Structure 1
Amino acid sequence: MSFEITILGSSAAVPVKGRHMTSQHVRIGNHQFLIDCGEATQHQLLEMGISLHKIEHIFISHLHGDHFFGLPGLLSTMNIQRRTAPLYIHGPRGLDEVLLASFKHSNTELNYKICLYDNPTMFPDVIFENDHITVETIPLIHRVPCTGFLFREKKKQYRIIPEKLPSGLPFDAFRALKRGEDIEFQGETIQFKDVTLPPRRSRSYAFCSDTKFSRSVISKVYGVDLLYHESTFMHRHLERANTTFHTTALQAGQIAKEAKVGKLLIGHFSARYGDLKVLLEESKTEFENTELAKEGRKFSIIERD
C-alpha cells in the first residue's frame, strides 16, 4: 500500500517567487487527504496532476490565512466541476462561519455535502479512522488555536506463507490465520505462527504546523517514520520566532533528534530567506537526515518488515 506525501506549498505568511502557501497532499493506499489549503492550492494540485475529486478529507491546522485562504476557492471549483461525493473537513472552531459567509455572499449553493468537524486543540484525539489508518491531532502552541496531525497505520495482519498451507483451505481460515488465530482443518490444528510471517511495520507521518518550540511535541511524534516540522526562521532570529510563536530550523532539528524520528522535513519558510540551504544546514547540525519540504517534492514511506 502506498504512503506518499506531496508538498504543494512551503512559504510562511506571504508567497515568494517559486514558493506557495502551506499545503500538502497525502495518499495512503486508495485514500487521498489534503493538509492545509493556502492560496493557490488548487493551482498546485492542477500543476501536479492531482484530482480534486479524489480528495476525501481536508485537515486545516489553524485559521491564519496562509493555511486556509485557498479553501473557499477549492470548494467552489469542486462545485463548478459538479462534485457529488461528500467532502469531510476537519478544522478549528470558527471555520464554519468563514465558509458559510463566503457561500452566502457569493450566492453559492453546493452540489455536494460538506461534513465539517471541529478539531480538539487542547488535547490529542483521533479525528478520523478507517480500516487501515488513524489520524490524530497534535496540540501546538501558536497565537491562535492550532493542531498538527499524526497519520498512523493500524497494526497490520500476519502474512501467509502459501507453500506451508494444505490445499482446500477455506477463505475464512485464511482470514483467521492473518489475524493471528490458530485454526482447525480436517481434524488437525494449524498454528498461525507456523504458516505466517510477522506483520510488516506500521508506518507513520506527523505534520506539525505553526508552533512555538515545545518539547511537549516530542512524545506525540516519538519514533514516527517521517516528521514535518515548521522551521520559519534561522536560530539567529530566535527572538522573532518567539514573538511570532514559530520555530527555528535548529529547534526543529532538536525535536527530530530527541523524538528519534526516521526523517525530518522542514518548511514554512520566512520570505526573508532566498536561499533555503542555510535553513537546511542549520537543522542538519542537530539532525542529519533532514530535507527541505519544497514545492513538487514527493516523499514516500516505504513498507518494511
Structure 2
Amino acid sequence: MELGIVFLGTSAAVPTRYRGLPSIAVVHRGSIVLLDAGEGTQAALTRAGLSPLRVEAIFITHLHGDHFFGLPGLLQSMGMLGRKTPLLVAGPRGLYGFLREAFRASRWLPGFPLYVAELEPGEKLVLPSGLEVESFPVSHTIPAMGYRLVEPRRKPRINIEKARRLGIEPGPLLAKLQRGEPVTVAGRIVRPEEVVEEQPRAVIVYTGDTRPCPTVVEAARNATVLIHDATFTSSMAREAYEQGHSTARDAARAASTADARLLVLFHISARYETPDPLLAEARIHHDNVVAAEDYLKIPIRP
C-alpha cells in the first residue's frame, strides 16, 4: 500500500496471549515509521511481513518500559540483518542515555549511522520519505508526547468538469496547466488555479498514553485517523485518570470534537478479553470507530 497503518502491539502495560506491547508501523511508499517500540517489536515486524531494514525512523512517546524497552533488541536485529542505511530514533529526554547504557552493557554498537533526537513538544521533522512528523504535548504521569504525521504533498489533480466547461479536453493543454503553466483557449487565458486542485493530505495522529486533554483535540483536527489511548471503559474512569490514561468514551469525544474521520481505540487493558465493551461505549459518541488488534492493517492509500 502507498500509505497505511499496521498495528504490531496493542496491549496496555503487559502483553497478553493475543496482544503484544505498543508499537505501530506507518507504511509509506516502502518506508516504515514506527510509533513506540514495546518488547518484541522486531518479531512483530517479521510476523507482519515488514522488514526492519525499511524502518526510516522510530518515534517514542514516553519512557515507560512497555513503550520503548523493545528498542535495543530491534536495533541489534537491524544490525545483524546487515543494515547500513541511517536510522533516526526520536523521543523525550532520557532516550539517548538509555540507549548509551544499553550499548555499553551489551558491548555492542550499531554498524549503521544512528541518530538519536531528544524532542520537545511542538518540534517538527521532515523525514527522507517526505512524511512530516510533529510532536505535541499530552497529559500522562511522566513527560510524554503524541505525534501528528502528515503525508507529503500529492500531485495536483485536474478537475475535468471545470476544464471542459472552459473548452479544454484532456490533452497537451491540460498537461501544461497541471505543470503550472497558463494556456490560451479561444482567445482567453486560463490559469492553472482555475482547473487544478490541490489534493488533501492524509493526517495520522497518535496520542501515546494520555488523559483527556485539549492538545490532543487540537492535534487531531480533521485527522484522517486518530489512534487514541482507550485503556479502560468509563466505569474505571477514576483509575484511568490516576494512571494517566483515557477511557473509550474520552477517546470518542476527542475524535468527535476534532472531526477526526476514523478513531482507533488503542492501549487496551488486559482485563478486557474482547474490545466489545470499549467499542460499544465509543460508538455512542463517534460513528466510525475500530479497536486496534495486533496485525490489523488500515490502508489509507492502497
Same fold (TM over 0.5): yes
Do 1:150 and 1:206's aligned partners in 2 also have CA atoms closer than 8 Å? yes
Percent sequence identity over aligned pairs: 33
SS of corresponding position for 2:89: strand
SS of corresponding position for 1:32: strand
Partner of residue 145, structure 1: 143
Write the distance in 1 (CA, Å) between the matches of 2:16 and 2:30: 33
Count of residues in Structure 1 that have an aligned counterpart in Structure 2: 293
Do 1:157 and 1:179's aligned partners in 2 also have CA atoms closer than 8 Å? no
Do 1:7 and 1:295's aligned partners in 2 also have CA atoms closer than 8 Å? yes
Do 2:92 and 2:119's aligned partners in 1 also have CA atoms closer than 8 Å? yes
Partner of residue 236, structure 1: 235
Shift of 1:28: 1.7
Partner of residue 299, structure 1: 298
Do 1:58 and 1:90's aligned partners in 2 also have CA atoms closer than 8 Å? yes
Do 1:158 and 1:180's aligned partners in 2 also have CA atoms closer than 8 Å? no
Write the distance in 2 (CA, Å) between the matches of 1:259 and 1:233: 21
Write the distance in 1 (CA, Å) between the matches of 2:224 and 2:104: 43
Partner of residue 8, structure 1: 8
Q: Which 5+ residue runs of structure 2 have no aligned equivalent?
A: 161-167
SS of corresponding position for 1:88: strand
SS of corresponding position for 1:104: helix
Q: Which 5+ residue runs of structure 1 have no aligned equivalent?
A: none
Shift of 1:163: 5.1
Shift of 1:131: 7.2
Letter in 2 for 1:14: V
Letter in 2 for 1:125: E
Do 2:9 and 2:19's aligned partners in 1 also have CA atoms closer than 8 Å? yes
Shift of 1:2: 1.6
Write the distance in 2 (CA, Å) between the matches of 1:129 and 1:258: 29
Letter in 1 for 2:38: G
In the TM superposition, 1:153-168 aligns within 5 A as 153-159=151-157, 164-166=170-172
Matched, 1:288 2:284: no
What's the TM-score once normalised by structure 1's chain length? 0.88
Shift of 1:80: 1.3
Deviations 1:112-169 (A, max 9, x none): 0101111213xx22123457431111211111111111111344342357954448x9
Write the distance in 2 (CA, Å) between the matches of 1:47 and 1:192: 47
SS of corresponding position for 2:211: coil
Write the distance in 2 (CA, Å) between the matches of 1:130 and 1:69: 26
Do 1:226 and 1:262's aligned partners in 2 also have CA atoms closer than 8 Å? yes
Partner of residue 253, structure 1: 252
Partner of residue 64, structure 1: 64
RMSD: 2.5
Q: Which moved more, 1:196-205 or 1:92-101?
A: 196-205
Matched, 1:109 2:109: yes
Do 1:7 and 1:294's aligned partners in 2 also have CA atoms closer than 8 Å? yes
What's the TM-score once normalised by structure 2's chain length? 0.89
Deviations 1:185-220 (A, max 9, x none): xxx9663246x5412221111011100111332122
Write the distance in 2 (CA, Å) between the matches of 1:106 and 1:129: 30
Do 1:86 and 1:113's aligned partners in 2 also have CA atoms closer than 8 Å? yes
Write the distance in 1 (CA, Å) between the matches of 2:248 and 2:139: 17
Partner of residue 55, structure 1: 55
SS of corresponding position for 2:115: strand
Matched, 1:133 2:135: no
Write the distance in 1 (CA, Å) between the matches of 2:137 and 2:220: 11
Write the distance in 1 (CA, Å) between the matches of 2:156 and 2:59: 31
Do 2:178 and 2:196's aligned partners in 1 also have CA atoms closer than 8 Å? no
In the TM superposition, 1:165-244 aligns within 5 A as 165-166=171-172, 174=176, 177-178=177-178, 180-182=180-182, 191-193=191-193, 196-244=195-243
SS of corresponding position for 2:204: strand
Write the distance in 2 (CA, Å) between the matches of 1:137 and 1:58: 13
